[in-house]
Amino acid sequence: MTTAHPRATGYSIGHRQHLFIGGEWRRSAKGGVIDVISPTDELVADQVAAATPEDIDLAVTAAREAFDQGPWPHMAPSERAATLRRVAANLRERLSDTAWATTLEMGAPLAMARTIATRSAQLFDDYAEIAETHPTEDVRPRQAGGYTVVVSEPVGVVAAIVPWNGPALLTALKVAPALAAGCTVVLKPAPETPLDAYILAECIEAAGVPPGVFNLVVADREASDRLIRHPGIDKVSFTGSTAVGKHILEVASQRVLRVSLELGGKSAAIVLDDANMETVVAQLAGEVCTNTGQVCASLTRMIVPRGKMADYAEALGATVSKMSVGDPFQDGVQVGPLAMGRQRSRVEDYIRKGVDEGAQLVSGGRRPGHVERGFFIEPTVFSNVSPSMTIAREEIFGPVASIIAHDGPEDAVRIANDTRYGLHGAVFTEDPDAGYRVARQMQTGSIGFNRREIDWSMPFGGFKESGLGREGGREGYRQYIELKSIYMPQLPSRLKKQQ
């Protein structure tokens, strides 16, 4: 990079033009680099090493050797937990670095980026505790006599593939439980947002994780495809689009590769007739604007009573139009840019489709006039949206909300479930009994009450085409273990003492 970005001094990375493989920082095989573009000003923010298929092979080999021959899988869970707690402590010392890098690389407002960085560090502590308390040997007496010892063992070498929205958090949701379970990891962040992953790699290195247990490669599509096809990989953990998830699933089927997939969403907020309008509008305005709508679980389908649709549309449109759009490094800014130019073009295309198909554009829909550069788009609200319209059916991944009318709770549930997705949802009502009844009928992996609620100590994942498996909590940890049943006529002495 010939000219430093004006905000490059806000964080520190020591090995940006290297890959972390086998416990060492190495140049890529061909010495290539990837430009990281700041979505705020469209300038090159930084450069990182570009991995080749040869580098992917080296990383998988290092992880394979660390799993097959190294100490990490065989350590006591308490030893691994102690290492993860050091990683967490290192990440906390570098919270400002991670937050700044996140805002620079993907445009999240700095206050939000700090929250992401804080939660990412906490996940390593959370999974340290889970590792210490999860039973690795479950002794079960058999009716036929003797015992079965059901053993939890690490699944092996994990390819952790992370998207560009909120990357620090999504990385921690994979790396922390995988390491806690005793797996080794090859992390591949999105090439658009790799900076936070470098900070994590430096924190892991400083924590004393054995060589090869954690590896970092940043790669384009060709090298990334090599990773999921590599015979040395035992499991792929992927977060991203449903289309890419289907490709991974197809590749995995060839050798019954273990996979967990957290994919797209088109989450519905069902608003019942008794809901408090002020609460609904405040919460759903946040859904439009949080991370510029680049949240897989955003409540972008707002299903409201038909007789109140005009009132909700007016109130929501007025609220989001007052949201501060601009430089995400500035205090008070609520909506930053979209992460990439191609993403803004995608969002603009959906807005045009909404208008062309007859939805009523209530607010937004344009590039803001007060910013000259950057991938900005105004928060956008559509009303009179039919459930059959494109904007009501496809994941836009931008600050665009669709208000849809319902004719009672059963109709609202029918509309909410009429989708190929099933990641998240919410019910807005003053009646907990009615809210729970509706929630039980919604075909989705998690449901909030009067808000979008996600607790990463609880399982998160989707029905239908929103994915396979769960992340978060003990269920997230279990994605990285295999179960082995050992039949014993009598228990070994060590286990006898524990009975």
Residue 496 pLDDT > 90: no
- Predicted confidence band of residue 499 (pLDDT cuts 50, 70, 90): confident
| Domain of residue 327, CATH code | 3.40.309.10
Percent of the chain beyond pLDDT 90? 96
Per-residue pLDDT at 493: 87
- Predicted confidence band of residue 498 (pLDDT cuts 50, 70, 90): confident
For range 350-354, the mean pLDDT: 98
User: Which residue matches tokens 């075909």?
Assistant: 443
Q: How many domains does the chain have?
A: 2
83, 158: one domain = yes
225, 252: one domain = yes
Per-residue pLDDT at 114: 97
Residue 465 pLDDT > 90: yes
Per-residue pLDDT at 4: 81
pTM, two decimals, is 0.96
143, 230: one domain = yes
Per-residue pLDDT at 8: 87
Per-residue pLDDT at 258: 97
Name 68's Cβ contacts closer than 8 Å, sequence gap at least 6: none
Whether 393 is covered by a domain: the verdict is yes
For range 448-459, the mean pLDDT: 95
- Rounded Cα distance, 242 and 259, in Å: 14
Per-residue pLDDT at 497: 74
The answer to which of 140-144, 253-257, 315-319, 492-496 has the lowest mean pLDDT is 492-496
444, 473: one domain = no
Residue 412 pLDDT > 70: yes
- Rounded Cα distance, 244 and 77, in Å: 34
141, 277: one domain = no
Name 305's Cβ contacts closer than 8 Å, sequence gap at least 6: 271, 272, 273, 405, 406
- Predicted confidence band of residue 2 (pLDDT cuts 50, 70, 90): low
Whether 496 is covered by a domain: the verdict is no
E strands, 165-257, where?
Answer: 184-188, 214-216, 235-239
105 is catalytic: no
Whether 100 is covered by a domain: the verdict is yes
- Residues 363 and 318: beta-carbon distance below 8 Å: yes
Indicate the average pLDDT of the chain.
96
pLDDT in tens, 75-108: 999 999 999 999 999 999 999 999 999 999 999 9
386, 273: one domain = yes
354, 379: one domain = yes
For range 7-25, the mean pLDDT: 94
**Minimal CA–CA distance to 266: which of 397, 368, 449, 384?**
397
Name 241's Cβ contacts closer than 8 Å, sequence gap at least 6: 163, 263, 264, 395
Q: How many C-beta atoms lie closer than 10 Å to residue 15's C-beta?
A: 17
Residue 36 pLDDT > 70: yes
150, 285: one domain = no
Domain that holds residue 275: 268-449
Percent of the chain beyond pLDDT 70? 99
Q: Looking at 262, 287, 348, 465, which residue is catalytic? A: 262
- Residues 19 and 217: beta-carbon distance below 8 Å: yes
SS (H, E, C) 294-323: CCCCCCCEEEEEHHHHHHHHHHHHHHHHCC
Whether 491 is covered by a domain: the verdict is no
3-state DSSP assignment of residue 479? coil
pLDDT in tens, 416-442: 999 999 999 999 999 999 999 999 999
Whether 493 is covered by a domain: the verdict is no
Run of H or E residues at 47: strand 44-49
